[in-house]
């Protein structure tokens, strides 16, 4: 099939490269000339394990190409995916759909013959209806079917998620569109990927409901972690104990500094706003959003408490900046609020992240960056683990202690062993555990 992917960001590039790897011919379209030229040169604009090699291999095989010319690409396409950004709109928190609708209008002006238009972007319920209205009212002669096909990709594991999905949700009513989508995903049939068809509005809501539920699960275990610290319980053991119940499961029960990234913050907020618009509020999700926002800055206060109540004039070393490992994504990362809280309290912040420092620099002022954990810990009063990159899991604690001026380690991901830290002379603070001493 000839497939066009409008938008060469995270979702568009991963989806396009994987579909090309399945054997389809895929053209990725973007308005950024710099991005398209970089992709043609074999350089990925984002960090995702395995993505750059996948892009290069399929480009070399002639199955994947990149262009600024939307019209020419769309004119030859069987299926056109819209994979543009839907950030939170400034001022009210609604999803900004201007990029989606602009793409729809450009596509509508260019399609020739029957074409399936697929919203891959995360969009509120009713967006597909509006895209269809654009075609029916502004381009009534065009033969198209508008479909919802939300993505369920985890940053850091996106290629695996696309090729071995839990489910593929398709919101479509047109039989021709259903057949086209079956053909798009036919290469996955050997993996028995469940292709789930439903109404378009239902498909749009499935994406938001899934992300909201996972965000709520993270927030739940974070609140239980706070309770554990107060009553002297261990949140990791609580999580294991409840996670063994198959009705609950053990995924997303890792206590930490709060969720971040490109999906959960904006999608939970967009769901809240959509529900309010329909006068059907989702109180659990509203509370989840509020708790998560407060938690990030509260982690800064946790670090201050671990440093005997004051960080004024002290050097704090931050390990990890991105919202999770194996990505360079800094969007809504907990590190931003934590660092700001520490700086407001008078601390000097030094930081290291294996992939995220270039993205972090425009977002964080007055932070000193280093080349590795030991460089930023040199003379530090405290070391704070914020993002659990593998590179931080096997630190040489003797070397770390020797280079530091202080003895405080704050582990916001519960990666380290308390006894081992104590043996090496550290005062150790974790999440969801009674603090000793």
Average pLDDT over residues 71-90: 95
Do residues 105 and 138 touch, judged by C-beta distance below 8 A? yes
Mean pLDDT over each residue of the chain, to the nearest integer: 96
Homologous superfamily in CATH for domain 199-437: NAD(P)-binding Rossmann-like Domain (3.40.50.720)
Residue-wise pLDDT tens digits, 185-237: 999 877 666 899 999 999 999 999 999 999 999 999 999 999 999 999 999 99
From 268, 329, 302, select the one nearest 95 (Cα to Cα): 268
The better pLDDT of the pair 92, 374 is held by 374
Predicted pLDDT at 436: 60
Q: How far apart are the C-alpha atoms of 425 and 406, rounded to whole Å?
A: 10
pLDDT of residue 90: 81
pLDDT recorded at residue 193: 67
Q: Over range 171-183, report the average pLDDT.
A: 96
pLDDT in tens, 285-308: 999 999 999 999 999 999 999 999
Average pLDDT score over residue span 416-432: 97
How confident is the model over 237-268, as pLDDT tens digits? 999 999 999 999 999 999 999 999 989 999 99
Sheet of 367-369: strands edge to edge? 367-369, 348-352, 315-319, 382-385, 408-411, 427-429
Q: Is the pLDDT of residue 377 over 90?
A: yes
What pLDDT was estimated at residue 92? Answer: 82
CATH topology match: 2-197 vs 199-437 = yes
**DSSP code per residue over 359-398:** HHTTT-SSEEE-SSHHHHHTT-SEEEE-S--GGGTT--HH
Residue 434 pLDDT? 82
114-162 pLDDT per residue, tens: 999 999 999 999 999 999 999 999 999 999 999 999 999 999 999 999 9
Question: If you average pLDDT over residues 400-422, what whole number do you get?
Answer: 97
CATH number of the 2-197 domain = 3.40.50.720
> In the chain, what are the domain boundaries?
2-197, 199-437
Active site residue 263: yes
* 348 close to 316: Cβ distance less than 8 angstroms: yes
Candidates 18, 228, 263, 307; catalytic one:
263
CA distance 257 to 346: 21
Kindly state the percentage of the chain with pLDDT values over 90.
95
Could you read off the pLDDT of 303-346 as tens digits, one per residue?
999 999 999 999 999 999 999 999 999 999 999 999 999 999 99
CA distance linking residue 274 with residue 312, whole number of Å? 43
- pLDDT of 23 reads 96
Confidence of residue 91 (pLDDT cuts 50, 70, 90): confident
């Amino acid at each position: 099939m000839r497939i066009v992917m409008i938008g060469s960001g995270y979702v568009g590039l991963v989806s396009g490269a994987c579909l090309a790897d399945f054997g389809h011919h895929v053209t990725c379209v973007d308005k950024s000339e710099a991005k398209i030229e970089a992709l043609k040169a074999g350089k990925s604009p984002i960090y995702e394990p395995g993505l750059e090699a996948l892009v290069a291999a399929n480009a070399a095989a002639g199955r994947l190409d990149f262009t600024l010319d939307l019209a020419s690409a769309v004119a030859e396409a069987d299926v056109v995916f819209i994979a543009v950004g839907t950030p939170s709109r400034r001022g009210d928190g609604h999803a900004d759909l201007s990029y989606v609708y602009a793409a729809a209008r450009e596509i509508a002006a260019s399609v020739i013959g029957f074409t399936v238009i697929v919203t891959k972007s995360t969009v509120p319920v009713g967006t597909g209806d509006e895209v269809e209205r654009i075609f029916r009212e502004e381009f009534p002669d065009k033969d198209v079917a508008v479909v919802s096909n939300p993505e369920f990709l985890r940053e850091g594991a996106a290629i695996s998620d696309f090729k071995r999905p839990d489910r593929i949700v398709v919101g479509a009513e047109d039989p021709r569109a259903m057949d086209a989508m079956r053909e798009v995903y036919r290469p996955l049939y050997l993996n028995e990927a469940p292709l789930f068809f439903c109404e378009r509005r239902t498909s749009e809501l499935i994406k938001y409901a899934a992300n909201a539920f996972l965000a709520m699960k993270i927030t739940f275990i974070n609140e239980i972690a706070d309770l554990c610290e107060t009553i002297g319980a261990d949140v990791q053991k609580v999580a294991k104990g409840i996670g063994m119940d198959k009705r609950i499961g053990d995924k997303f029960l890792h206590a930490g500094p709060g969720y971040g990234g490109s999906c959960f913050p904006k999608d939970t907020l967009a769901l809240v706003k959509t529900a309010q618009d329909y006068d059907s509020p989702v109180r659990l999700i509203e509370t989840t959003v509020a708790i998560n926002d407060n938690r990030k800055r509260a982690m800064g206060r946790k670090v201050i408490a671990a440093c005997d109540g004051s960080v004024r004039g002290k050097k704090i070393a931050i390990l990890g900046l991105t919202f999770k490992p194996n990505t360079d994504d800094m969007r809504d990362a907990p590190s931003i609020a934590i660092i700001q809280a520490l700086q407001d309290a008078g601390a000097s912040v030094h930081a290291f992240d294996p992939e995220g420092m270039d993205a972090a620099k425009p977002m964080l002022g007055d932070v000193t960056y280093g080349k590795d954990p030991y460089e930023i810990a040199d003379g530090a009063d405290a070391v704070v683990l914020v993002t659990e990159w593998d590179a931080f899991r096997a630190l040489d604690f003797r070397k770390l202690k020797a280079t530091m001026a202080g003895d405080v380690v704050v582990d916001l991901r519960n990666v380290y062993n308390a006894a081992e830290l104590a043996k090496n002379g550290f005062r150790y603070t974790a999440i969801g555990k009674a603090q000793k001493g």
